[in-house]
Amino acid sequence: MNKFSLDALARKHMETAAAASAGRSSETFYGGHEHTLRQTLIALTRGNSLSEHPNPGEATVLVLRGRVRLDADEDRWEGRTNDLLVVPPKAHSLEALEDCAVVLTVAKIG
């Protein structure tokens, strides 16, 4: 069994994102491309984003810290600390409305 401190991981990547020119940092801490389930911690500084991209499978975004906005076409959802956003099955983007850390969980389809 493995145990992960999401708080420590969030702290580490928020510091890294703050120092990075792109304003972001991430780490897949469970699973990966060779697995069905993948969990990645993503830290973004305010105003930075993950540009629009296709949905790779069933996915959720758990907001550990801060505030984000998930955009998909005309639909928008805001998430705050401890909110869980279900990623729609279409192209979408994620913007940091505040410095944030999120856990992206993806279960690949097919």
Q: Which domain CATH number covers 86?
A: 2.60.120.10
In order along its 110 residues, the chain shows pLDDT tens digits of 788 899 999 999 999 999 999 999 999 999 987 888 999 999 999 999 999 988 878 999 999 999 999 999 889 999 999 999 999 989 999 999 999 999 999 998 76
Would 97 be classed as within a structural domain? yes
Would 15 be classed as within a structural domain? no
Number of domain units in the chain: 1
Would 11 be classed as within a structural domain? no
Q: Which domain holds residue 42?
A: 25-108
Residues paired with residue 71 on neighbouring β-strands, in sequence order:
76, 93
pTM of whole model > 0.85? yes
Helix, strand or coil, per DSSP, at residue 94: strand
Would 70 be classed as within a structural domain? yes
Q: What share of the chain is helix, strand, coil (3-state, %, to 5)?
A: 15, 55, 35
